[in-house]
């Protein structure tokens, strides 16, 4: 329940724009719509859905998200160019509350890119923000690399943008260069020196290159910023962005010293964290604050003793506050379909009858191989649920011979467009041999960018979740699979990625942005 006496801080999520710019994190159209829906349901104030001018795919995703959103403002990004702004408006105009976010780099390094002097850039800002305001009442403007822009010039450009009609001024720490005190001083300076600053909202957008993104964002809020730009799991280029879950829970747990409110339902954080990790292929580190696997784990004897006597001795928030339900080992091979549906609903998955039927079959197969099925096993199972892009190539069977003596060999049969094809290959290890089998049957020139294995739970019968990322002709795809057999999971993840690659080939185009000078933060 929000306190009317406390200031609201708007949560601006850019997972689908800045987060997706993280190399290899490209999401499909359906995945973007799913994440946007979860963000909307969670109570995010603004969803930056994409960069409409970047590609036809980005435009289509932003446009569809704008149509489907129920409460969140839907924002699109645009460079300081009339064509970008017009394209952005075409995409977001269907939203209940649309927003145009336009930007230009104002630091000396970034002014040199378009080769504009200070006066020319000032004129460009006035013209483009005015143009955007003529299309939409809700305009956000960003001076990219603000933290390395000369203070006097930053004040000048912010004043121009406000006079031209900007309703939100975002101050990006584009390269994660600033520190908390400096972040706060920058907001205070703008509020004190810029005419009209008290009539608009200041936002903060921080990158995590020095590990201070969350601290810098909170410092800016204490100084007067009332919007935080962030991403789920801190996803983003280089070291990532401010993590949404961190600032939301920091404001909630330490409301005594930071008396600000958000409207985010924190109990939905764990579910959306898992979904973003799954669709992006970027696993959450175990010790990640709030949503990491170890965030609420206690191994030290002293800690465990304290937890048994009073959980508050070592926990400043409850697991259920972030949507983490206690792992309950009750699912097994005798569990029925109704029990599975109930458990999946508790984990945030709502399935239709046909979907449940498919998942139930695979759950039974897993339960036959594992004595106990944990919540994490079910989440992994859902990650590998039927994918509309995973139909052309299917694994029928495989047999692997490996060991310290002699070559490692794999025999494999794939069903490719309905036709069975088999091969046998040797390799440096069982996974290498398996991948060579697949490549010999499905000709491609894709380069393996990432091969990552993570155990879902403990024990020798634990499922392994494997992520595979491939790149071919500027197309980047990620495949995932989970299985109690690591080699089988690896083969299926590789096949999943190849299926997605075939779809990208048929659609044509590239996953890389078709415009340059792309990052507004």
Query: What is the rounded distance in angstroms from the CA atom of residue 347 to the CA atom of residue 271?
Result: 7
- Paired tokens of 234: 């801190």
CA neighbor of 470 nearest in space, from 491, 489, 451? 451
Question: Which parts are annotated binding residues for Mn(2+)?
Answer: 18, 205, 207, 241
Question: Which parts are annotated binding residues?
Answer: 18, 205, 207, 241
Tell me the Cα Rg of the chain: 25
DSSP string of 341-389?
A: HHHHHHTT----HHHHHHHHHHHHHHHHH-SSB-HHHHHHHHHTS--TT
**3-state DSSP of 102-152:** EEEECCHHHHCCCCCCHHHHHHHHHHHHHHHHHHCCCEEEEEECHHHCCHH
Collapse the DSSP code of 414 into the 3-class scheme (helix H, G, I; strand E, B; otherwise coil) and give the result: strand
CA 421 to chain centre: 37
Collapse the DSSP code of 518 into the 3-class scheme (helix H, G, I; strand E, B; otherwise coil) and give the result: coil
Beta strands 98-105 and 73-79 are parallel
CA 276 to chain centre: 5
Query: What is the rounded distance in angstroms from the CA atom of residue 492 to the CA atom of residue 480?
Result: 7
DSSP string of 456-492?
A: SSSSTT--EEEEEEEEETTEEEEEEEEESSHHHHHHH
CA neighbor of 99 nearest in space, from 126, 68, 62, 127? 62
Query: What is the rounded distance in angstroms from the CA atom of residue 251 to the CA atom of residue 228?
Result: 12
């Amino acid at each position: 329940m929000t306190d009317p006496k406390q200031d609201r801080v708007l949560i601006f999520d850019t997972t689908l724009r800045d987060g997706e710019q993280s190399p290899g994190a490209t999401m499909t159209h359906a995945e973007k719509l799913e994440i946007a829906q979860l963000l909307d349901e969670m109570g995010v104030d603004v969803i930056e859905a994409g960069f409409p001018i970047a590609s036809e795919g980005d435009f289509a995703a932003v446009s569809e998200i704008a149509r489907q959103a129920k409460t969140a403002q839907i924002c699109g990004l645009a460079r300081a160019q009339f064509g970008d702004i017009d394209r952005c408006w075409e995409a977001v105009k269907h939203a209940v509350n649309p927003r145009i976010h336009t930007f230009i780099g104002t630091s000396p390094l970034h002014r040199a890119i378009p080769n504009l002097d200070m006066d020319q850039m000032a004129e460009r800002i006035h013209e483009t923000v005015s143009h955007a305001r003529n299309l939409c009442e809700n305009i956000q403007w960003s001076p990219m690399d603000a933290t390395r822009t000369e203070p006097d010039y930053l004040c000048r450009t912010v004043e121009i943008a406000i006079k031209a009609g900007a309703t939100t001024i975002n101050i990006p720490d584009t390269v994660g260069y600033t520190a908390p005190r400096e972040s706060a001083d920058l907001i205070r300076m703008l509020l004190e020196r810029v005419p009209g600053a008290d009539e608009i909202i200041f936002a903060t957008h921080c990158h995590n290159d020095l590990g201070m993104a969350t601290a810098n964002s909170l410092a800016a809020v204490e100084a007067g910023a009332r919007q935080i730009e962030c991403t789920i799991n801190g996803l983003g280029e280089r070291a990532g962005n401010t993590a949404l879950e961190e600032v939301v829970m920091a404001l909630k747990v330490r409301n005594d010293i930071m008396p600000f409110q958000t409207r985010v339902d924190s109990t939905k954080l764990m579910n959306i964290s898992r979904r973003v990790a799954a669709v992006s292929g970027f696993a959450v580190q175990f010790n990640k604050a709030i949503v990491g696997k170890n965030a609420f784990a206690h191994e030290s004897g002293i800690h465990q003793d304290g937890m048994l006597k009073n959980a508050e001795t070592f926990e400043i928030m409850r697991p259920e506050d972030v949507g983490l339900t206690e792992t309950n080992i009750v699912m097994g091979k005798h569990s029925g379909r109704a029990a599975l549906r109930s458990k999946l609903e508790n984990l945030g998955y709502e399935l239709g009858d046909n979907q449940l039927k498919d998942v139930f079959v695979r759950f039974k197969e897993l339960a036959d191989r594992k004595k106990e099925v944990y919540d994490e096993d079910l989440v992994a199972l859902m990650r590998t649920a039927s994918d509309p892009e995973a139909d052309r190539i299917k694994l029928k069977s495989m047999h692997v011979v490996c060991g310290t003596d002699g070559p490692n060999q794999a025999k494999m049969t794939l069903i490719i467009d309905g036709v069975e094809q088999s091969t046998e290959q040797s390799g440096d290890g069982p996974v290498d041999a398996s991948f060579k089998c697949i490549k010999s049957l499905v000709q491609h020139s894709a380069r393996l960018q990432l091969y990552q294995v993570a155990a879902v739970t403990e024990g020798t019968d634990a499922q392994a979740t494997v992520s595979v990322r491939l790149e071919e002709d500027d197309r980047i795809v990620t495949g995932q699979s989970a299985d109690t057999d690591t080699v089988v999971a690896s083969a299926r993840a590789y096949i999943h990625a190849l299926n997605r690659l075939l779809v990208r080939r048929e659609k044509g185009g590239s996953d890389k942005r078709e415009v340059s000078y792309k990052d507004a933060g």
